[in-house]
Amino acid sequence: MKFTSKQRAYLRSLASTEETVLHIGKEGVTPEVVQAVDEAIDARELIKVGLLKNCFDDPNEVAEMVSERTRSTLVQVIGRKIVLYRKNRDNPKIELPRAKQGKS
């Protein structure tokens, strides 16, 4: 899913007040981590994931991998924090600003 800069900024602002819901440790991205992230995104739509100091994987690579495996959108990576978003089709909680339509 592609976002406009306004939508991405909106999601970043929402994430700034959110607590980190999951931590990835020395084991890295395991199937259990992917499942936990998937379940958290289903429940919240927007989540913040932290990489612990004993996780030596690159945060950007971890973010891309988790985003791809959970079919979510990577909103941002700041230091060792990752913000992911995926709209809940059954019960959406976050209303994104509308994208402007181009002139026809």
* pLDDT band, residue 104 (cuts 50/70/90): very low
Residue 77, pLDDT score: 96
Q: Is the dihedral of CA 33, 69, 75, 46 positive or negative?
A: negative
Nearest C-alpha neighbor of 74 from the set 60, 89, 88: 60
DSSP string, 44-72: HSEEEEEE-TT--S-HHHHHHHHHHHHT-
* pLDDT band, residue 102 (cuts 50/70/90): low
- The answer, yes or no, to whether residue 34 has pLDDT greater than 60, is yes
Q: How far is CA 63 from CA 2, 51, 89, 90, 101, in A?
A: 16, 10, 22, 25, 30
Do 82 and 74 form a contact (C-beta atoms < 8 A)? yes
- The answer, yes or no, to whether residue 36 has pLDDT greater than 50, is yes
What CATH architecture applies to the domain 5-85?
2-Layer Sandwich (3.30)
Nearest C-alpha neighbor of 96 from the set 76, 78, 75, 81: 75
Residue boundaries of the structural domains of the chain: 5-85
